[in-house]
Structure 1
Amino acid sequence: MGEDFFKYLPSKIVVEILSRLPTRAAMACKFVCKSWLSLLATPEFVNSHISRSVPGLLVKTHSTSSYDVIEFVDELRLDFDKEHRWNVAFNFKLPFDEPTHSSVNGLIFLRDFGRGDLILCNPITREYIKLPCPPKTTTAVDLEMDTFGFGVSRTSGQYKVVRVFVEAPRKEAYKHDHLLPFACQVYTVGTGLWRNVPSGSPPLRFFDFHGGVLLNGNLHLMALEMTTDGLVERICCFDLETELFSTFSVPPPCGIGERYCKTPSVFRDCLCLSHISSDGEIVIWLMKEYGDDNSWTREVFVCEVDIGFVGERHVWPIRVFENGDILMEEEDKPFYYSNKTKTFDNDISFRGDRGSYYTSMTMYASSFLTLKNFVTENVSSF
């Protein structure tokens, strides 16, 4: 009866049902029958599943070559143990050991700093693409700064890798009181080509350790701009659709040691900046109205951080739970804030092996988007 029930259901209804399944269960559906195998590859299912896919966390430890996908669970019981607020939904291994950089719609972007490899992969479809290296723009060998971002444009739906870099000048041409002009290259996945894109902005000094944070079809990077008042912090925004640069202001520092330490991220669907104050407190700012410099709100304020932390490390929130507890990251090291006890726990483990050293942590939402859609790319399987 069950088999006949699904056999005669309209495909639209079957898509609605299967796209609501947890990722592991949806993956198993590919082996049920040929019709479901084909159905899970259709744009209707892929798009429906992406719209419902809940972001989790992709982690990799130093001691293993496998990646774990962590799913979060909210629980209303006040005595609920934080150990059970997350579980490993599934894990996988990749045929390369590059650290994860970022992820969009289930596609993971990896960058190898040693060899310069740039890779896109989808662990659900077990496919990957090795992107060509960006061409040199001059004969200069050294770079003052080199950072990448990965995202998808709002209107065209094109996936793009963006490189922002500053080439080292000749010593005789270098002036310490001037910022160096930056250059931009864009790779639209599926074209096989890197393009030079005019910056159209005044010289900026980028913080290359962040990479680009994606929100509203724009990539965001922290930068410094030279003004009449000296160097001022800015958020540099690159529109993936128009390929134009713009800048946002940031909240003013409230104490000594708070300049140049704000870390961008996306939190509660808002552009977010977090930092450690001069008093040893973690402060989280949210841009309530995207693009409105006057809408910065000091949304979350937590305390009792080691004062030696200030000005040395970068932190950003991962998730706020129902009772106000917060999971955060400090440079690939998770820590947990208890709203009840007002204390932090740095001894966080997702696998049960406490003290694990995480080589990468990336926000990730799974999808069945196949890389074979990008027909000009050389897609490999693993």
Structure 2
Amino acid sequence: MGLDFFSYLPSELTTEILSRLSIRSLAISKSVCKPWLNLIDSDDFPKSEIKTPPALALLTPKERDSTRCTIFEIEDEDEVDDAEKSHDLHYIPLTDLVIPHGNRAFIDAITARGLLLLYSPLPKECFRIFSAPPMGYRDGDLSVLRDCLCYSYTRDNEIVIWMMKEYGVEGSWTVEFKLSTVGCDDGWDDISIDPIRHFKDGDVLMSLYRYQLIYYSNKARTIQEVGMFKDAVAGYLTALIFTPTLLSLKNFGFENVISF
């Protein structure tokens, strides 16, 4: 019988080996044995140093008092050396769960420090008023892209996305994208568009009317429905990007947190 070398490795060396794994592999490693589970969950494990790919979270109402949360890992190529190559939207399902919340309001979400925070919209909110982009009156939508405030609308067979490069500085509004909608089947004037993710090769993932995901190919200059998510999406949806982390709420000082 061969020796189990991992059983005799110093904990420092085991930590060094495990810390080089992806977050998906680490999640699997926690189920291998109890020592690995305790090591990865311990404060000595360098959780904040683990590089993780972005994830796409989709929230859709399931029933009047529950929300379905589906999370996909999406991949982005670091660079495209060959100009003839185009980026494909690769995805890996991570989890799919139903969140009961005990009220009849739709659950929304924000991301912060690697955590996905779910909440019900509050009746009392604080607002700050500043001017829209200097493009004349256009009925558009606010969203966040690359940590910047965006204002998006459609006109004359184009999706126009303005980006506020410095938050609160009205002079920093800049036209970041003009995406052609020529050739699309439906009329694209005055529709609700929210950009979700801009890929390194210029492709853009967006939501349409908050019920459908669409994908713009920068190389082909075409827009298509993201059919791979049809099973996860039904009706009104919230789609947002966040970067998963191994840190739990306990790391942020919250008590009575159950880890699973």
Please give the TM-score of this superposition, normalised by the length of structure 1: 0.52
1:343 to 217, 222, 227: 222
CA separation in 1, counterparts of 2:17 and 2:169? 40
SS at match of 2:227: coil
| 1:327 CA displacement | 0.9
Match of 1:109 in 2: 117
2:178 to 289, 301, 325: 301
Q: What's the counterpart of residue 72 of structure 1?
A: 74
Shift of residue 336, structure 1, vs aligned partner: 1.1
**Superposed CA offset, 1:104-149 (max 9, x none):** 2343322246xxxxxxxxxxxxxxxxxxxxxxxxxxxxxxxx46xx
> What CA distance in whole angstroms lies between the structure 2 residues aligned with 1:290 and 1:3?
55
Distance 1:375 1:337, change over 3 A: closer
Local SS of the residue matching 2:156: coil
Shift of 1:328: 1.1
Indicate the residue corresponding to 1:47 in structure 2.
48
Q: Does 1:365 align with 2:233?
A: no
- Offset of residue 365 of structure 1: 2.1
2-side partners of 1:356 and 1:363: how far apart? 19
SS in 2 for 1:251: coil
Pairwise CA RMSD: 3.7
1:96 aligned to 96, 100, 109, which one? 100
Between Structure 1 and Structure 2, how many residues are aligned?
A: 243
Q: What are the superposed Cα offsets for residues 158-195 of structure 1, whole Å, 9 maximum, x if unpaired?
A: xxxxxx53xxxxxxxxxxxxxxxx5xxxxxxxxxxxxx
Flag structure 2 segments of 5+ consecutive residues without an equivalent: none
Once structures 1 and 2 are overlaid, which stretch shifts more, 326-335 or 63-72?
63-72
Q: After superposition, what is the alpha-carbon deviation per residue over 1:26-80, rounded to whole angstroms, capped at 9, x for unaligned?
A: 111112333321221234432223xx22221012455697533222223547565
Q: Aligned partners of 2:98 and 2:39: how far apart in 1?
A: 26
- Structure 2 residue aligned with 1:216: none
Residue pair 2:52, 2:245 contacting (<8 A) in 1 also: yes
Tell me which residue corresponds to 1:257: 138
More strand as a share of residues: 1
Question: What amino acid sits opposite 2:46 in the alignment?
Answer: F
Amino acid at match of 1:342: R
Q: Name the residue aligned to 1:4.
A: 5
Q: Calculate percent identity across the aligned residue pairs.
A: 30
Q: CA deviation at 1:363?
A: 1.9
Contact 1:318–1:326 (CA<8 Å) still a contact in 2? yes
- Confirm or deny: 8 A CA contact 1:71 1:87 kept in the other structure: yes
Match of 1:28, SS state, is helix
For the residues of structure 1 that align with 2:94 and 2:233, how far apart are their CA atoms? 21
Flag the 1:41–1:66 CA change in 2: closer, same or farther, 3 A.
same
Aligned twin of 2:27: 27
Alignment map for 1:105-254 (pairs within 5 Å): 105-112=113-120, 146=122, 164-165=124-125, 206=127, 223-224=128-129, 234=130, 250-252=132-134, 254=135
Structure 1 residues 66 and 14, CA gap change in structure 2 (3 angstroms): farther
Counterparts of 1:253-332 in structure 2, within 5 Å, are 254-258=135-139, 261-267=140-146, 270-288=147-165, 292-304=169-181, 309-310=189-190, 313=192, 315-330=193-208, 331-332=210-211
Counterpart CA distance in 2 for 1:289 and 1:79 is: 33
1:194-248, CA deviations, whole angstroms, 9 ceiling, x for partnerless residues? xxxxxxxxxxxx4xxxxxxxxxxxxxxxx54xxxxxxxxx2xxxxxxxxxxxxxx
Aligned to 1:196: none
State the distance in 2 between where 1:99 and 1:2 align: 51
Q: Is the Cα contact below 8 Å between 1:88 and 1:351 reproduced in 2? A: no
Deviation at 1:5, TM superposition (A): 5.8
Distance 1:54 1:250, change over 3 A: farther
